[in-house]
């Protein structure tokens, strides 16, 4: 697997490109609003993957754990259409206790079309909030902005 598939990290910011497909659009021909959340999710997942944090490994480990969205504040600032190339920019803002904060913006060229601030929790196999393991915390802290 190449890092291009997962995007790249430059100066603590993760950059990930997505091409808009027909399936991403609604009847008006523009990207359906919920798909921006999917694009942001792909960006976050790939950012973590490049840090050596894999969702599949977290779930299948001896002590299974997973991320869930705790809080989200999003703004839809523009539109995108089929064949547009979008870039998801992700920045870790903070990690404390059971929560991780990340800011994400999606651009079409120079124009920001979507922005979201998300707070995640890490849950154990019983869906109880848990503190981030030290090794995971160290990987993320290197990229805090």
Catalytic residue among 26, 84, 103, 124: 26
Phi-psi region of 61 (alpha: psi -120 to 50; beta: other; left: phi over 0): beta
Cβ atoms 107, 86 nearer than 8 A:
yes
**Residue 134 is among the residues annotated as catalytic for this protein:** no
Query: Which two three-digit tokens encode residue 74?
Result: 């999003």
Could you tell me which residues come within 8 angstroms of residue 60 by beta carbon, excluding any fewer than 6 positions away? none
Enumerate the active-site residues. Answer: 26
């Amino acid at each position: 697997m190449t890092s291009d598939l997962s995007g790249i990290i430059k100066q603590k910011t993760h950059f990930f490109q997505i091409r808009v497909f027909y399936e991403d659009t609604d009847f008006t021909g523009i990207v359906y609003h919920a798909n921006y959340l999917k694009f942001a999710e792909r960006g976050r997942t790939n950012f973590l993957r490049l840090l050596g944090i894999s969702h599949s490994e977290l779930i299948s480990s001896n002590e299974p754990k997973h991320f869930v969205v705790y809080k989200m504040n999003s703004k839809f600032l523009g539109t995108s259409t089929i064949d547009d190339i979008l870039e998801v920019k992700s920045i870790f803002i903070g990690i404390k206790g059971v929560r991780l904060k990340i800011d994400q913006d999606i651009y079409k060229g120079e124009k920001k079309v979507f922005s979201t601030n998300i707070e995640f929790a890490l849950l154990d196999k019983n869906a109880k909030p848990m503190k981030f393991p030290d090794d995971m915390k160290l990987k993320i802290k290197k990229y805090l902005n």
